[in-house]
Amino acid sequence: NPFAGNTPQDVTERQGENAIFIVYKLNQSPDSVEKVKDVCANFSALIRSMRNRFPDAQFSSTISFGADVWDRIFPGKGRPKELEVFKEIKGSKQIAVSTPGDILFHIRAKQMGLCYEFASIIDEKLKGAVEAIDETHGFRYMDGKAIIGFVDGTESPAVDENPYHFAVVGEEDPDFAGGSYVFVQKYIHDMDAWNALSVEEQEKVIGRRKFNDVELSDEEKPANAHNAVANIGDDLKIVRANMPFANTAKREYGTYFIGYASTFSTTRQMLESMFIGNPVGNTDRLLDFSTAITGTLFFAPSYDFLGEE
Ligand code: HEM
C-alpha cells in the first residue's frame, strides 16, 4: 500500500449517525504518559472488541495527539512534518482562534449508547492521567444536514475519489506514513440572524440549494459563498466529518468541524481563504453567522505506529 505498509486509522469514514468528540489535557506525571501509551498499544484491540460486540453499529474511533505532548508520548521518534500548535488566523471580521488540546477522541456509531460505551472504557483507562477540556455530542440531523439546514459533506472525497489520498500521509513523510492531520473547530451559529434570511439568501451563503443539495450554477453563486471560498482546487481536498450539536433550551446551536488531511497546509489554506479571503477581503459569508470558539490541530498516527509503543 502507499503508506509503507502502515494501516491508517478510520480517518475516511462518513460522518455517521452519532459522534462524541473528546479533547483531553494530559497531566504532568510520568505515569500519565504510561496510561496513554497503554491505550495506544491497545487501541486497535479496543475497537475490534466494539465491532465484534456490535457488528452492525458502524462503530469507529480515532485517537490523535497535539504538538505539545507528541514528544512526551513518542520520545525519540521524531515528529510529523506539519504537526505544530495551531497558529490563529486573524481575519478582518473574525479570528480562527487557537485553543489547547493534547488528545482527541473522535468516536462514531449508529447509536449514541455505543459512542458512550467506548468513551467510558477509554476514560476509565485514562483516569488520573487526563483532564477534560471539552466533550461534544454530535448527531445526524435529517438527511445529513448541518444545524443551519444544509446538507454537509457532499463534496468531501468519498470512495470513488480515493479519500485516502487526501486524508493520509504517504511517502512524503515516510516515518509517519499512514497518519493523518486532524483539525477541529467548534462553531456556534447565530440562528436568529440566520433564520432572518430568506431561503434564497441562505442558498447564496452556502452555494447550494437548501431542499435538495444541488449546487448553484456559476452565475448564481456569489464569490463569498462558503463552497466557493472553501474550494481551493481539485488537488487540495480534505476529508470532512462535521456533526451538528445543539442544546435547545440554552439556545446553543453549533457545528463541530473535523477535517482529516494528508497535509495540514491544505486545511490551513482553506481556513485562510475563509477568514482572510483570496483575494484578501473576500471572506466567507458563512462566518457572518458562525463563530469559531475552538481550534486545535492533532495528528492521528497509523495503527502500526500506535502499536509500537
Ligand atoms: C462545503 C458547512 C466549516 C471546508 C460545505 C457545505 C456545507 C458546509 C453545508 C456544502 C456541502 C458540502 O460539499 O459539504 C459548513 C459549516 C461549517 C463549515 C456549517 C462551520 C461553520 C468549514 C471549514 C472548512 C470547510 C472550517 C475548511 C477548513 C469545506 C469544503 C467544502 C465545504 C472544502 C466543499 C467545497 C466544494 O464544493 O468544493 N461546508 N462548513 N468548511 N466546506 Fe464547510
H/E element, 205: helix 199-206
Strands (DSSP E) found in the chain: 18-26, 60-65, 89-90, 95-96, 103-109, 130-139, 180-189, 239-240, 243-247, 252-261, 290-292, 296-300
Is-contact 164 12, C-beta < 8 A?
yes
Cα 268 to averaged position of ligand 1 atoms, centre (Å) = 13
For the stretch 175-220, pLDDT in tens is 999 999 999 999 999 999 999 999 999 999 999 999 999 999 999 9
For the stretch 89-140, pLDDT in tens is 999 989 999 999 999 999 999 999 999 999 999 999 999 999 999 999 999 9
In terms of residues, how long is the chain?
Answer: 309
Which residues are designated catalytic? 152
Cα 289 to averaged position of ligand 1 atoms, centre (Å) = 14
Burial class (CB in 10 A: 0-12, 13-18, 19+), 50: buried
Strands 130-139 and 60-65: unpaired
Is-contact 69 266, C-beta < 8 A?
no
Find the residues whose C-beta lies inside 6 A of ligand 1.
146, 148, 150-156, 185, 187, 206, 208, 226-227, 230-231, 255, 257, 259, 267, 270-271, 286, 290
Is the pLDDT assigned to residue 309 strictly greater than 60?
A: no
For the stretch 152-173, pLDDT in tens is 999 999 877 889 999 999 999 9
For the chain, the domains span 18-307
Percent of all residues in the chain with a pLDDT value above 70, rounded to a whole number: 100
Looking at this predicted complex, what is its ipTM? 0.99
Pocket test for ligand 1, best of 183, 213, 234, 240 (most atoms within 8 A of CB): 240
How far does the chain reach from its first CA to its final CA, in angstroms?
22
